[in-house]
Structure 1
Amino acid sequence: MTTLRSDTNFAGPIAGLYEQLLVPMLFAHYANDLARRIAALDPSHVLETAAGTGALTRAMSRMLRPQAAIVATDLNQAMLDRAEATGTPANVTWQQANAQSLPFADARFDVVACQFGAMFFPDKSAAFAEARRVLRPGGTLLFNVWDRIEENAFADTITTALGRVFPDDPPLFMKRTPHAYFDTSTISADLAHAGFDAPPRIETVTALSHAPSARAVAVAYCQGTPLRNEIEARKGATLDEATIACETAIKDRFGTGPVQAGMQAHVIIVRR
């Protein structure tokens, strides 16, 4: 399995654990933040790319006016299946789609939104260009990306712990993909290359990530993300053994019982 394919593979049990553990731990806060920003624009037609299991989709369906139509897309059908099974109001349409080649007409949407998906796009400028194409003139692209891994303590602790478990070939998914697209000058340049003439507005949003236990954090990262694919491809420790090592590292740093840690992301807003 290539690195690119592994990093975007959310199949099997990953989607369920992602929704059960990672959404409340990491994504719900930022979904509400992004949805409030979108609601302030009062759009009639919204496209969401890389919707995952629907954290932002559900937040938008709560905050946007009932007449607003939301089309939520993702490359991974398994994630969309889990999102649809969770349930959202009737104003949401789920559709499998590649953000770099969207199956929609030009100038169809008032807003294109993406929660923590841009980091996974192989060609980010191409995805942004597609977002621009389907936006009406004056429409808005809003998305967020994780800041560097050192600003996101759970992810940093997990990655360091796995480096000790697999010293010869450490699993670096978290650093390589989710926390790799944090440089705001690079993001601005990619947007300009995609055809956005106006400079983006970029805000850094800091929050606390909460989990009921160190075990929940370890399972969420090691088994509910594509990090699982990297762990299972390596020799020297099983998935369960690696998860236990990460649980111990979280306990050592954050204590037993309910745990919390700092997290940080950038919100990017740019008009067509």
Structure 2
Amino acid sequence: MSATDAAFAGSIPAVYEQYLGSLVFEPFAEDLATRLKGVTSGRVLEAAAGTGIVTRAMVKALPPEVEIIATDLNQAMLDLARTKLQAPNVTWRQADAQSLPFEDSSFDAVVCQFGVMFFPDKPAAYREALRVLKPGGRFLFNAWDSLDANLVSKVVSDQAVEMFPEDPPRFIERTPFGYFDAGRIEGELQLAGFEDVTIEPVDKVSHAPSARHAAIGLTQGTPLRGEIEARAPGRLDEVTDKATQALVERFGDGRVENRMRALVVTARR
């Protein structure tokens, strides 16, 4: 993992929310929130909350008596999240999932949507989740399956790599789509101290209004943007145009069907 892979700053949060929210994140956010419906009181910790897409889904799915603490490493993401949701049972807080500023056994559930892939020390983050969970509490998260099972993202990633053959920007395949080995995930959770682990592949379908909409989101609303700009200042729009063309060639010039697969993981303390 590159040191820049978790850098969601500048204009990235706004592009991420506008172009990727409904395209890739909301379907799985609703899935996670539905799995938490057994939580009727107490506290839920969200790690890597981003712009609050799962947070908003949890507010809809859970009773208002449940307190939600939504955290992220990137303050810029939380700043945008605050503008999208004001709820009396939600607190926003900057925090590193590998070193949580919370007491032992203080949460009924810990939730993380597409964030564990970005943790440099995943077992450390898992130990922290275990530490802050109450006995019997659940750690619920998802991670993308391989790029081959997420074709829209693969087309954009392949196009970016093709444009820089001598120094390919591999953020998409390296980090968000680089942690899909179920055996590894289970092993690292068990190493952290979790004993009851289940991993389920989940398929979702969403739609982008156009190929360009998807291309903008993936090239300009993720840290891929920083990789492109570091290699070729001034060529970001060109890469976005090429990614758009590649998507049109694969999916047609119109509404894009985005078939996705993720692994949903539940681990109990």
TM superposition shift of 1:236: 8.4
Counterparts of 1:45 and 1:221 in 2: how far apart (Å)? Answer: 33
Secondary structure class of the residue paired with 1:266: strand
Q: Which residue of 1 aligns with 2:214?
A: 217
Note the residue ranges of structure 1 that are not aligned, 5 or more in a row: none
TM superposition shift of 1:117: 0.2
> Pairwise mapping of residues 143-222 of structure 1 onto structure 2 (< 5 A)?
143-198=141-196, 200-222=197-219
Counterparts of 1:195 and 1:43 in 2: how far apart (Å)? Answer: 25
> Are residues 197 and 180 of structure 1, via their aligned partners in 2, closer, same or farther at CA, if it must alter by over 3 Å?
same
TM superposition shift of 1:175: 0.3
TM-score by length of 1: 0.97
Secondary structure class of the residue paired with 1:42: coil
Counterparts of 2:246 and 2:190 in 1: how far apart (Å)? Answer: 41
Count matched residues. 269
Root-mean-square deviation (CA, aligned residues, Å) is 1.1
Secondary structure class of the residue paired with 1:78: helix
> Pairwise mapping of residues 46-195 of structure 1 onto structure 2 (< 5 A)?
46-195=44-193
> Are residues 110 and 236 of structure 1, via their aligned partners in 2, closer, same or farther at CA, if it must alter by over 3 Å?
closer
TM superposition shift of 1:39: 1.5
Runs of 4+ aligned residues of structure 1 deviating over 6 Å after TM superposition are: none
TM superposition shift of 1:237: 6.8
TM-score by length of 2: 0.98
**Aligned partners of 1:73 and 1:80 also within 8 Å:** yes
Counterparts of 1:263 and 1:237 in 2: how far apart (Å)? Answer: 31
Secondary structure class of the residue paired with 2:246: helix
TM superposition shift of 1:6: 1.1
Q: Which residue of 1 aligns with 2:256?
A: 259
> Are residues 103 and 164 of structure 1, via their aligned partners in 2, closer, same or farther at CA, if it must alter by over 3 Å?
same
- Tell whether 2:18 aligns with 1:8: no
Kindly provide the amino acid, as one letter, of the partner of residue 240 in structure 1: D
TM superposition shift of 1:261: 2.4
Q: 1:244 aligns with which of 238, 241, 245?
A: 241
> Are residues 83 and 244 of structure 1, via their aligned partners in 2, closer, same or farther at CA, if it must alter by over 3 Å?
same
**Aligned partners of 2:118 and 2:175 also within 8 Å:** yes
Identity value in percent: 51
Counterparts of 1:44 and 1:33 in 2: how far apart (Å)? Answer: 21
Secondary structure class of the residue paired with 2:241: helix
- Tell whether 2:16 aligns with 1:18: yes
Kindly provide the amino acid, as one letter, of the partner of residue 231 in structure 2: R
